[in-house]
Amino acid sequence: MFIKDVSLSGWGNFPTITTRLARPEHVNIISQFLNDNHTSFIPRGAGKSYGDAALNQNIVLTTERLNHFIAFDKNTGIIKCQAGVTLHDILEVVTPYGWFLPVLPGTQWATVGGSFACNVHGKNHRLQGDFAEHIRSILLLLPHGERLFCTPTLHSEIFYATAGGMGMTGLILELELQLVHRAPWLKVKRIPINSMTDLASTLSKNTAEHWVAWIDHFGTGNQLGRGIVESANHCSIESEKKFITPQLQMSIPKFWPKGLLNPWSMRFYNYFRLHDAARKTEEIVPWPSFFNPLDHLQHWNRLYGKPGFLQYQCIIPESSHMFDHLAELLTLAQKKDIFSYLVVVKTHRDSKELMSFPKKGISVAMDFPYHTRLFDLLDASDTRVIKWGGRVYLAKDARLSARAFESMYAHALPAWRAILKKIDPDFRLKSLMSHRLGFKT
Amino acid sequence: MTHAVILGATASLGKALCQELAKQNINLILFGRDQEALALLASDLTIRFGIATDTHLLDVTELEQVTTWETTILTLPPFDLVFSLVGVMPKNHSSQSIVDTINTNFTGPAVLLSLFVQKLQKQQNGKLVVVTSVAGDRGRQSNYLYGSAKAGLSIFAAGLRHVFWKHGIHVLIVKPGYIDTPMTYGMKSPFIASREYVARKIIRAVQKNQYEVYIPFFWKFILFAIKLIPETLFKRLSL
């Protein structure tokens, strides 16, 4: 049998539940399995979402072993694969031929299916948009067993309800993507910044494809916003460097003492990161070093110990007060003596998919070690984000309230819910997140 | 350019073994009974590793097809390596399940391998790798149907070795313990080996021309001890 009892959580290790994990190796047994086990279930890719998006108390169906490549056209850069293929697998196959993923999120270990279901974005959202914009077609297994082939124009309402749909439309079996011609090496520029004004000005002056800012949350007062901005462009495709040098990989062991990560060790670490003179201001790096620096530290979520951590990622829509709003969010936490150990800012354009997170503006992602005081802070942050017309990113969420969710996604919910009702009238597809936020009410 | 034949390629271990062989640029001839799974495996191997793959639909329990099997084998491109990874656990206690378990684990592979060895004999060169199981080392209550069929296949393979070594054919019997596949998913045992590990060890054993190998190695000692237990005591154990 391919099902077992497990203790399961998202990347943040909060919440953790016991459930049954099904790991099918072939697609044709899944329909029969779902007929025999008539409970609710949720699909799961690599489990890299942070909260409870891929958790269900009855059955979690992982696509881990549904990870075959189906077709790859080296001339057109169109690749088709099963949903369990990871972004890393794709890059390993396509980079020798000069192809690259147009959108790459913070981890290369996410699956293609999961990336579509969360509609991930990278550090180049202003140019390349969402992951879903580059998907040409999907093959979806609907809850009652029918397989549906969808594209942006065929069954388009189901295609767009699945993009960022958090698994609510069915199990994605296959996807077809359009790749881009890019070298796997990037020229990175690092600019230290000392204030929010610096941050705003580096963004306005930016012309590079990729842009990301790391902020030291321990910078307060007029040091608020101190950090490092990294901007990057891919090297030219003809550059000599074709092969990726093996990356240094470390792994955090299972029983890492939680206390090692605390405000003082983080102040220390941040100080060194800010003042690391050895870090070059301009460098050519292999793609994992720029896109997925955290992937070099395998199981880095274990640094937070058993209680885990939460990430708050939200969009602050573009306006003349955009950076003031960012400052307000950062100081709100500081005033409550809560410090984020990782603050990352990215820029975005408007998104066209139904349940999309990005809007024209900036996003900020903040990692906080788990603490009961956190929930009030994040609720207060929600109030402000809603006031500014922003949203919270569901792929990272573990605690948003249903009320806040209704406000943030009001533009999409009526249409999305109508489609979900048609596809899944019996509510077979459920997750802890769908229950918490009331996806299918 | 000779090929390797994989019987039961779409089995869990089969996929891992195919990948290990593909990494060494060996072109593969894949046999399996699930059309969709075969196609996916073939495309995946070609895209990831650049090798050529042939696929053939074959269900080892369809013994009446034996003459078709013979003809198919004659049409295959040149090959000098044959792996048999066919195996299935009993699904339930029905009589059909008993028939399927014995035929899938013993009769089917034994018939097929007899046909393949005839082809290898003609070219006076070749290696046969037969994956059985530690479960075949002793008749035990917990798994005797699967175990005995595998035991039969082990002895059959040893017999083939005895007959055909003079014809340049080498036979390796592989006895894995628990492997991380649907067969063992959910088992609370510290001894479950990854498919990749087992596949790598099989390749090593083939390269070293070994006769019989337990994977991981410690099963050799475990089974040695189990085989030593006198029957009056053994029948009272819950093994």
Sequential pLDDT tens for chain A (441 residues): 689 999 999 999 999 999 999 999 999 899 999 989 899 999 999 999 999 999 999 999 999 999 999 999 999 999 999 999 999 999 999 999 999 999 999 999 999 999 999 999 999 999 999 999 999 999 999 998 999 999 999 999 999 999 999 999 999 999 999 999 999 999 999 999 999 999 999 999 999 999 999 999 999 999 999 999 999 999 987 765 555 666 778 899 888 888 889 999 999 999 999 988 667 889 899 999 999 999 999 999 999 999 999 999 999 999 999 999 999 999 999 999 999 999 999 999 999 888 999 999 999 999 999 999 999 999 999 999 999 999 999 999 999 999 999 999 999 999 999 999 999 999 999 999 999 999 987
User: Measured between CB atoms, does A36 come within 8 Å of chain B?
Assistant: no
Q: How many CA atoms lie within 13 A of A199 on its CB side?
A: 26
Residue whose entry in the numeric block shows the structure tokens 């498919």: B195
- CA distance readout (Å), A436 to A308, A375, A410: 19, 15, 16
* Beta strand A69-73 pairing with A78-82: antiparallel
**B44, B47, B182 member nearest A2 (Cβ):** B182
- Beta-strand (E) ranges in chain B? 3-7, 27-32, 53-57, 79-84, 126-131, 169-176, 212-215
Element (H, E) at A191: strand A185-193
Could you identify the residue written with the tokens 């790859």? Answer: A72
State the maximum Cα–Cα separation within chain B, in Å, rounded to a whole number.
Answer: 56
Count of CA atoms in the C-beta half-sphere (13 A) of A78:
6
Interface size, chain A vs chain B, as Cβ–Cβ contacts under 8 Å = 45
**B186 at interface of A, judged by CB pairs closer than 8 A:** yes
Give the residue from B130, B3, B22 showing the smallest Cα distance to B79. B3
Does B41 lie at the interface with A, CB-CB under 8 angstroms?
Answer: yes
Q: Is B34 on the interface with A (CB under 8 A)?
A: yes
Q: What is the DSSP letter of B105?
A: I
B36 touches chain A (CB under 8 A): yes
Tally of CB atoms within 10 A around A119: 29
A432 touches A15 (CB < 8 A): yes
- The CA distance from A345 to A216, in Å, is 11
CB atoms within 10 A of CB A237: 14
- Strand A59-62 relative to strand A41-44, pairing: parallel
Find out whether the peptide bond into B78 is cis, omega within 30 degrees of 0. no
**Neighboring chain B residues of A5 at a CB cutoff of 8 Å:** 186
In contact, B65 and B33? CB cutoff 8 Å = no
Beta bridge partners of residue A7, listed in sequence order: A18
DSSP A418: H
Q: Closest Cα of chain A to B43: distance in Å?
A: 5
In chain B, the residue whose alpha carbon lies closest to the alpha carbon of A28 is B36
d(CA B140, CA B137): 9
Nearest to A28 among B36, B181, B186 (CB): B36
Q: How far apart are CA A295 and CA B28, in angstroms?
A: 34
Question: What pTM value is reported for the model?
Answer: 0.95
Amino acid, single-letter form, for residue A298: Q
Contacts 24+ apart (CB under 8 A), A86-90: A86/A46, A86/A110, A86/A111, A86/A112, A87/A111, A87/A112, A87/A115, A89/B48, A90/A177
Closest-CA distance, A177 to chain B, in angstroms, reads: 15
Distance set, CA B231 to CA A28, A31, B137, B236 (Å): 44, 46, 14, 9
